[in-house]
Structure formats: C-alpha cells, structure tokens
Amino acid sequence: MDRFALITARTQEVLNKAEALYGVKIDPSIAFNLRGRVAGWAGCKFCFLTRKATQFSLRFNRELIAGNHFDDMMNNTVPHEVAHLVCYARPDLGRKHDGGWKRVCMALGGNGDRCHNYDVVVQGRWDYLTDLGNKVSVTKKHHAYVQQGGTLRFKRGLGMITKSSMCAPSGQLQVTPKSDGTVVVRTQPKNEPAVTPKKEITQTVPVSKDGELTWAEKVRRLIRANKPEGMSMDTVIVLAMDLGMTKERAKSCVKAHWNKI
C-alpha cells in the first residue's frame, strides 16, 4: 500500500475506535490537498434545525505525508483530526483544543498536542528571524519587499523583520533555543551544501552625489524584483512610496521604467 492508502486505512481504524468508545458513527470524506504548514484539517456542516453536525470531512497535507513526517502523521495527526470530528458530533465531550478534546485525542491514540513542532519546507518561501528572536515565513514577494528596504511587522508579538534580519530559503534557517534564553542560528542544514553563489558581475550602478542610489535605479530594482513575480504596477508604486518618494514622483517614475524592464 502507498502512503496515502495507509493514511486512509489508519483514519478508518481510528474512526472505528471512536465509534466503540463514544458511540459516534462518522463517515467523513478524505482528501489529500493541504499544502504549506497545516498538517491536517477537520470540518463539518451543522443542521440549523437539529443543531447536529453533518457532512464530515478530513484533509491532510500531501507534502508531509510524502516527506519525512509520515510516521507522525499516522500516529498523531490522524487521531488529532478525528478527535475534532468526534467533538463536532458530541459537543459535550469537548471543543476546539480544550481539555475535553485533548482527552478524546489521547484516547484515540494521539499525543494531545495542539499543533506539530517540525519545520515544513515550502517552495518559494523564505524564513526570517525577527528582532525578537522568533522564526517567521514570508512569500517571495514579501521577501523582495524586505530586501528592497521595507519593514514587515507581525502580530501576536512576533516582532519585525528588515533587510538586516537573518534569513534563508524555507527549511534552511535552523533556530535552536539555548537554556540562557539566546538562540543559535544556522542558515544551512547540516551536511548539506549551501546554494551555489552566482558569479559576481561587475557593473556600473547609477548613484547620486552623496553616494546613494538614484531614485530611478531604486525604482528599476523594485520593478526587476517584483514584476516577474506578477506584482502589479500600482503595488510597485506603493513600494516606491515606502522608500520615501512622493506619490506623484513614484507614479511617474514607475510608469517611465515599467515597460523597459
């Protein structure tokens, strides 16, 4: 059996255990269409007349199943999501990730954790270390914005990132907490070679009298970094304004160079 068939079989096994323990017979649809950092998802619809849950569904992350975390998906993610379905069918047992749900999850064979704690490599994303020492993930567009001098601030007290923040492609920024509260950061996995650097290209860059890049060159760099990624002209104009240009100057400068790059 392939891994996806094994996950399906494991799900049915846990559902049978849930029926024996809690008297709930659930027959959910199962899909393997989750991507990114979410390992699993459980859902249902509620009938407004009976106030009961119907049409149960489960979704699992196909990249994690096919990767190095298959065993954890089998042993913990499946019971975790089935426990949510049980609580949907029997709200008296628990809800969300409260103590009742945790007891159900552990009874079904899971570890009761609210979320997984392993890194997920997402193609095209970048990991950053914020000024408060937290690891965050951003898209290529946001990475380009930060590298052009922008600042991103994150909610829930995670901190902010700037061009000087430590960063690496998804999965290559390893953060290890130490007992004294500090962290150890490395930007390549052990025993894996770093990305081969591109050959240096010597070129003349337009600068102003004080040695800073000209506004035209700053705008051209913004366009080069973001236009190939599908960013619109209006968005690039906003990025140019973040660098200190007036709205009128940013608009005229971006329009003047847009079709040249």
Q: What pLDDT sits at residue 201?
A: 43
Helix/strand/coil for 174: strand
Report how far apart, in Å, the C-alpha atoms of 136 and of each of 67, 126, 158 are. 21, 8, 8
Position 84 scores a pLDDT of 94
Q: What is the pLDDT of residues 142-170, one digit of tens each?
A: 999 999 999 999 887 788 999 999 888 87
State residue 205 phi and psi, 5-degree precision.
-110, 125
Residues of the chain with pLDDT under 70: 1, 36-37, 116-123, 171, 174-212
User: Within its chain, how far is the Cα of 58 from the centroid?
Assistant: 20
pTM value surpassing 0.85: no
Token pair of 42 as six digits: 């459980």
Q: Locate the DSSP E strands across 38-197.
A: 40-46, 53-61, 126-129, 135-138, 152-154, 159-161, 167-169, 174-177, 183-186
Q: What is the pLDDT of residue 118?
A: 53
For 180, the token pair is 């004294």
**Domain 3-107 falls in which CATH fold?**
Zincin-like (3.30.2010)
Exposed e or buried b per residue across 49-82, where buried means at least 16 C-beta atoms within 10 angstroms of its C-beta: eeeebeebebbbbbbbbeeebeebbbebbbbbbb
| Residues β-bridged to residue 177 | 183
Write out the residue limits of the CATH 3.30.2010 domain(s) in the chain.
Answer: 3-107
